[in-house]
Amino acid sequence: MKEGGRDNSLWWRMIFVVRRVVGMGVGSWFEDNVLRIIGCGSSTFFWTDKWVGGVPLQVRFPRLFSLAENRWVTMAEMESRGWEDGGGAWEWRKRLLAWEEESVR
C-alpha cells in the first residue's frame, strides 16, 4: 500500500490514518479485516490473490500452482475457459498424477 498524498480520495487517506494509529505492529491488519468481493472476476487473480479462506491458492496448493500452465489467470478468465472436468481452465505443464487430480476436485 502506498499513500498518494492530497490527490487520493478522502476514504483512501482515512485508511492510512487508521493504519498509522491502529495498525502499526499488528501484522497484516488490513488484509485480515477487509473483505474482497470478486464481482466479475476481472481484477482477481485465481492463484495469487486472497479470495477464498484468506490464503492464496498458490499457498494452499503449491504443487498444483507449480504445474499450472497459466499462473497469472484471473477468475473471469478461468470461468470463460470452463470449470468443469476437462474444461479449458485446467491446463497443466504435465499430466497430473492421481493424487494431484484429487486436489483439483
Q: Where are the domains of the chain?
A: 1-34, 57-104
Cβ burial, residue 16 (10 Å; 0-12/13-18/19+) = middle
**Mean pLDDT, rounded, for 79-89:** 83
pLDDT at 1 over 50: no
Q: pLDDT over 70 for what percent of the chain?
A: 65
Those residues whose C-beta lies under 8 Å from the C-beta of residue 93, and which sit 6 or more positions away, are: 67, 68, 69
Choice among 4-13, 51-60, 89-98 with the minimum mean pLDDT? 4-13
Better-scored residue on pLDDT, 68 or 28: 68
d(CA 97, CA 5): 51
**pLDDT at 58 (0 to 100):** 92
User: Does the predicted TM-score (pTM) go above 0.75?
Assistant: no
In the chain the beta strands, taken as DSSP E runs, fall at none
pLDDT band at 99, cuts 50/70/90?
A: confident
d(CA 22, CA 14): 12
Per-residue buried b or exposed e for 38-76, using 16+ beta carbons within 10 Å of the residue's own CB: eeebeebbbbebbbeeeebbbeebeebbebbeeeebbbb
CA distances from 88 to 43, 84, 103 (A): 20, 8, 17
**pLDDT at 77 (0 to 100):** 92
Cell digits for 39? 464481482
